[in-house]
């Protein structure tokens, strides 16, 4: 069918790229009148990645660009991705997932921070005077892909064809096939409180053993553990998956230590259900135990278009 053919032909951005040692996450707001510069930067992003990456091929530099719901109609005429909308705040009995603004996301990653920093610098310079950085996080790999809580992060990430199936829009929204919805949240950890509780209690909160990274059995895994609340099934009873690219980050002087959550999915409904389960509970009231020690200070939804769309942008909207 034509729609299925279009979905197969679309080339995605590197949303399923393997985890690297370093990453920079940039969220920017486009200033009034800055739309043309933002369009130019998006159209030329692949060239910037090639220019920087060519200098250090072993660094495996890549960058994914995402566009927020409020920015899309300012940048492009015509339809927008079917499920793109502002992230809605989730309020539970004890915890809250905040919603924060953001027009553009740049997820820069590579094996070395120098190439990430160089590319991020070029992005910011290209948008100088046209967009303001509202959040910037420099992430790093922590030992064997652990977070600062000491647990391996991203164990259940799909790989290969399963990752593409989970992350990429298909024929259901053919004009935007090959794109991906991406949700970001910056979590700050209270490591003093977390490290004060016994390892066994930490394991019950996460739902995995800390040293060996083995999921607890059904009889030992609490219903309000992180693993239990993030396990979803689709309409056919199969696991509903996302592609995570989370990274630890930290600033010792300010005590700002945490995890930058970034999840890619072909529909934001899966991401939003996971967050609703964490903050409201399943059943309601039994919120994720990790939230007693980790709180989000940002929350924004973006759409990462296919490479094809970025190379041939829709026309700008008519100016009244």
Interatomic CA distance for residues 282 and 296, integer angstroms: 19
Residue 243, H or E segment: strand 243-244
| Residue 320 confidence class, pLDDT cut points 50, 70, 90 | low
Interatomic CA distance for residues 224 and 106, integer angstroms: 33
Tell me the per-residue pLDDT of 73-113, one tens digit each, with 9 for 90 and over: 999 999 999 999 999 999 999 999 999 999 999 999 999 99
Interatomic CA distance for residues 108 and 120, integer angstroms: 7
Interatomic CA distance for residues 12 and 5, integer angstroms: 14
Q: Inform me whether the pLDDT recorded for 6 exceeds 80.
A: no
Residue 124 covered by a domain: yes
Domain count, the chain: 1
Expressed as residue numbers, the domain containing 219 is: 2-311
Residue 316 covered by a domain: no
CB 183 within 8 A of CB 100: no
pLDDT at position 8: 52
- Helix ranges (H only) for the chain are 2-9, 35-53, 72-75, 113-126, 160-167, 191-195, 199-206, 226-229, 268-280, 307-311
Known catalytic residues are: 153
Nearest Cα to 299, choosing from 40, 95, 23, 114?
Answer: 95
Residue 186 covered by a domain: yes
pLDDT at position 219: 87
Q: Inform me whether the pLDDT recorded for 180 exceeds 80.
A: yes
Tell me the per-residue pLDDT of 105-134, one tens digit each, with 9 for 90 and over: 999 999 999 999 999 999 999 999 999 999
pLDDT at position 238: 77
Residue 134 covered by a domain: yes
pLDDT at position 301: 98
| Residue 1 confidence class, pLDDT cut points 50, 70, 90 | very low
CA-to-CA dists, residue 215 to 133, 211, 219, 240, 272, angstroms: 39, 11, 11, 18, 23
Residue 317 covered by a domain: no
Q: Inform me whether the pLDDT recorded for 186 exceeds 90.
A: yes
Interatomic CA distance for residues 193 and 63, integer angstroms: 35
CB 178 within 8 A of CB 7: yes
Nearest Cα to 148, choosing from 245, 39, 249?
Answer: 249
Average pLDDT (235-243) is: 82
pLDDT at position 56: 96
Tell me the per-residue pLDDT of 251-303, one tens digit each, with 9 for 90 and over: 999 999 999 999 999 999 999 999 999 999 998 889 999 999 999 999 999 99
In the chain, % of residues over pLDDT 70: 96
Mean residue pLDDT of the chain comes to 95
Nearest Cα to 256, choosing from 139, 86, 85?
Answer: 139
DSSP helix/strand/coil, 256: strand
Q: Inform me whether the pLDDT recorded for 153 exceeds 50.
A: yes
Residue 45 covered by a domain: yes
Residue 75 covered by a domain: yes
Pairing of strands 96-97, 243-244: unpaired
What per-residue string of b and e applies to 270-305 under the rule 16 or more CB within 10 Å gives b?
bbbebbbbbbbbbeeebbbbbbebbbbebbbbbbbb
Residue 158 covered by a domain: yes
């Amino acid at each position: 069918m034509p729609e299925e053919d279009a979905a197969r032909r679309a080339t995605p951005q590197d949303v399923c790229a393997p985890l690297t040692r370093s990453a920079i996450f940039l969220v920017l707001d486009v200033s009034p009148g800055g739309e043309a510069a933002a369009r130019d930067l998006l159209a030329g992003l692949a060239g910037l990645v090639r220019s920087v990456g060519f200098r250090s091929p072993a660094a495996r530099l890549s960058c994914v660009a995402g566009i927020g719901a409020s920015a899309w109609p300012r940048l492009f005429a015509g339809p927008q991705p079917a499920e793109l909308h502002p992230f809605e705040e989730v309020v539970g009995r004890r915890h809250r997932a905040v919603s924060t603004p953001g027009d553009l996301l740049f997820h820069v990653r590579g094996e070395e921070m120098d190439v990430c920093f160089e590319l991020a610098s070029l992005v910011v310079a290209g948008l100088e005077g046209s967009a303001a950085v509202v959040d910037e996080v420099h992430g790093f790999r922590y030992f064997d892909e652990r977070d600062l809580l000491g647990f391996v992060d991203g164990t259940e990430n799909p790989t290969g064809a399963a990752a593409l199936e989970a992350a990429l829009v298909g024929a259901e929204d053919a004009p935007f096939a090959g794109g991906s919805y991406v949700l970001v949240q910056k979590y700050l950890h209270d490591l003093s409180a977390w490290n004060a509780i016994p390892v066994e209690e930490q394991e019950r909160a996460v739902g995995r053993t800390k040293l060996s990274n083995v999921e607890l059995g059904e009889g030992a895994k609490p219903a309000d553990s992180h693993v239990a609340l993030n396990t979803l099934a689709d309409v056919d009873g199969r696991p509903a998956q996302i592609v995570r690219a989370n990274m630890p980050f930290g600033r010792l002087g300010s005590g700002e230590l945490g995890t930058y959550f970034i999840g890619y999915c072909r529909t934001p409904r899966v991401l939003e259900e996971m967050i609703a389960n964490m903050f409201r509970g399943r059943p309601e009231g039994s919120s994720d135990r990790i939230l007693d020690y980790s709180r989000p200070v940002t929350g924004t939804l973006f759409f990462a278009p296919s490479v094809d769309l970025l190379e041939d942008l829709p026309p700008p909207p008519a100016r009244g």
